Structure 1
Amino acid sequence: MPLLDRRQWNTRLAAFLAAAALPAARAAEPLKNVPALGAALRLPDVPLLEGGEFKAAAAQGQVVVVYWWASWCPFCAQVTPHIQKLWHAQRDRGLQVLGLSIDQDLAAAKAYRARRNYDFPSGCVTPAVEAILPKPQGLPVTVVRGRDGRVAAAETGQIFPEDVEALARFL
């Protein structure tokens, strides 16, 4: 390989640095449909996987954790047990959880929940649900709607168990 002159070396170095900075620049872009802190968050009525319905009107004035997940998502597999634990620990204090599966196969979502004994309220993202509450980019996504109907917290991707437990502070 021939030696590079100073100009060629500088050109290649600049190209390398620009390419290395690209992921950082993309990371600075906001993720699509992730609700902003303090924004009003409307909730839809959602048919639940195991029957019944999550009624948005019944959630008025309540703290609601909205959690997008999928049965095939490895990061969801790490977070979902802690969402279940949070719901069991805090539901008597008024915490509501609304899980929203993005699974295309309803049976797969139900089977996943049954195998793991998850019983926090969960439905599927349907066109009717997405018209009111669009699915944010990434998985899992955890959003807390405070008693005032506004976004109190929003996390994308895997979060630590202590971070899930800390969501109780919004009660």
Structure 2
Amino acid sequence: HTGARMIKQILAALTVSLVAACSGAANMDEAVKNAPQAAGTLLDGSRFNLADNAGKVTVVQFWATWCPTCMAEMPMVQKWYSAERGRGLQMVAVSIDDSRQEVTDWMAKNPAYQLPFAWFKDVQHNFGRIKGTPTFVVIGKDGKVVQTYVGGVTQAQLDSISKLI
């Protein structure tokens, strides 16, 4: 019974932490809302810069290999990205894992996922501290943040992003 009680306490604490993280992450300052910037090197070695995506809808996803919600939504996000990139969707999936090796090991074990992956220390950005994973930042064709989703996305939310393309 002590073990079950401890698990319940841990789950309650995690739930409170997740709710707190999710509620604060959407409060991006105005400079970021108007001109989010990110540039760096993807894990495949290619370079990216949000400034190069002018006139295109871009999603910056902050995620982690240890995040159960990130892992649960990955198949849906991959399917959506595969369908929409041909229509002009731009995306970068920025891992906040502690090491690049954790991300590259995960990628090697999960070859079905072919998002443009990056590790946060290889990326210069002005998004500030990411307070919850996963976080999806949707940038419109005008270069401004249209929407931020924290704590997971639904198919309906992905469909709403598709309408912007």
> Normalised by the size of structure 2, how large is the TM-score?
0.76
Cα distance 1:50–1:160, how it changes in 2: closer, same or farther (>3 A)? same
Residue 149 of structure 1: how far off its partner (Å): 0.8
In 2: Cα distance, 1:30 partner to 1:75 partner: 16
Q: Does 1:56 align with 2:50?
A: yes
Partner residue of 1:125 out of 120, 128, 148: 120
In 1: Cα distance, 2:27 partner to 2:118 partner: 19
Amino acid at match of 1:121: P
- Report what 2:105 is aligned to: 111
- Report what 1:168 is aligned to: 162
- Report what 1:39 is aligned to: 33
CA contact 1:41–1:145 (8 Å) conserved in 2 = no
1:132-155 per-residue CA deviation (whole Å, 9 max, x = no partner) reads: 232421110011000011111111
CA contact 1:33–1:134 (8 Å) conserved in 2 = no
Count of aligned pairs = 145
Partner residue of 1:75 out of 54, 69, 74: 69
Cα distance 1:161–1:30, how it changes in 2: closer, same or farther (>3 A)? closer
In 2: Cα distance, 1:61 partner to 1:93 partner: 13
DSSP-derived class of the 2:114 partner: coil
1:39-68 per-residue CA deviation (whole Å, 9 max, x = no partner) reads: 213222121012111122321111001100
Partner residue of 1:140 out of 120, 131, 134: 134
- Report what 2:12 is aligned to: none
Structure with greater Cα Rg: 1
Residue 95 of structure 1: how far off its partner (Å): 0.3
**Structure 1 residue ranges (4+ consecutive) displaced by more than 6 angstroms after TM superposition:** none
Partner residue of 2:153 out of 138, 155, 159: 159
Residue ranges of structure 1 left out of the alignment (5+ in a row): 1-22
DSSP-derived class of the 2:72 partner: helix
Percent of aligned positions with the same letter in both sequences?
28
User: Quick check: which one's strand share is greater?
Assistant: 2
In 1: Cα distance, 2:39 partner to 2:27 partner: 20
- Report what 2:143 is aligned to: 149
Residue ranges of structure 2 left out of the alignment (5+ in a row): 1-15
Cα distance 1:82–1:36, how it changes in 2: closer, same or farther (>3 A)? farther
DSSP-derived class of the 1:125 partner: strand
Q: CA RMSD in A?
A: 2.6
CA contact 1:144–1:151 (8 Å) conserved in 2 = yes
